[in-house]
Structure 1
Amino acid sequence: MSRYLVDKFLYTVDRDPELVERYRTDPHGTVTWWEAERANAVLNCHTGEASTWLRFTDEERDALASHDHVRLFALGAHPFLTLTLFIAMFERDHAEPMAYQKQYGLRLAHFSLPYPDIAT
């Protein structure tokens, strides 16, 4: 599991409104594109530096492509990164204030301490 790469995906997509919409409407395509085009770019570096070895595992790719924040949490993705991105994508689908955040929390309620390790 590359928690770094999953967290990098969540972080970079959340900071680009066009990518948020793309991920909302075409999650499989966005994950595939991002892994091929952005995964190996150095974070916050605009000089063209890149690595060549970073790839999602099949389980990570599937969890990201299915918007499965529960499985992402179990895999060690940082819950705040997942929550902020998923609020941007799905809060608009709920009429009641905080409805998405409550749903997010309820879906994670079966986890007990100690939580999965979120260190990268």
Structure 2
Amino acid sequence: MSKYLVNKFLYTVDRDPDLVQRYRDDPAGTVAWWETEKANEILNCVTQEKSTWLAFEDEERDALVAQDHVTLFELGAHPFLTLTLFIAMFEHDHEPLGYVKAYAERMAHISLPYPDIAT
């Protein structure tokens, strides 16, 4: 798994309110667009330098499209990145802290040692 690329997706989408809404409304289209247009940009680079080799593995792409934070965590995505993005996308559909509680409940079956989240 490219934990770097998945975490980069979560990080960059979370920092743009328009992308947050786009990912909420059209996850498949947003993931495909981001992988094609943004995945190979150098993160936080002022110039438009790009690499050419980064792409999601099928399992990563499927979890991102499904907006499945449990699978993303099991694959090694950083839980703070999924939590902050998914709160931005779904918290307003729940009572206060409702989404955070639902997020935690879906993760309750995971026990130590947690997957390695180092990139």
TM-score (norm 1): 0.98
Q: How does 1:1-120 map to 2 (within 5 A)?
A: 1-94=1-94, 96-120=95-119
AA paired with 2:39?
A
CA distance in 1, matches of 2:21, 2:96: 21
Shift of 1:97: 1.1
Q: Helix, strand or coil: the match of 2:41?
A: coil
Unaligned 5+ runs, structure 2: none
Shift of 1:110: 0.3
- CA offsets 1:17-39 (integer angstroms, 9 cap, x no match): 00000000000000000000000
- CA offsets 1:23-60 (integer angstroms, 9 cap, x no match): 00000000000000000000001201110000000000
CA distance in 1, matches of 2:100, 2:49: 37
CA distance in 2, matches of 1:33, 1:55: 12
Count of matched residue pairs? 119
- CA offsets 1:71-97 (integer angstroms, 9 cap, x no match): 000000000000000000000111x21
CA distance in 2, matches of 1:5, 1:12: 10
CA distance in 2, matches of 1:50, 1:114: 36
Shift of 1:9: 0.1
CA distance in 1, matches of 2:84, 2:105: 16
TM-score (norm 2): 0.99
Give the percent of matched residue pairs that are identical in Structure 1 and Structure 2.
75
Superposed CA RMSD in Å reads 0.4
Shift of 1:6: 0.1
Instruction: Show structure 1 runs of 4+ deviating over 2 A.
Output: none
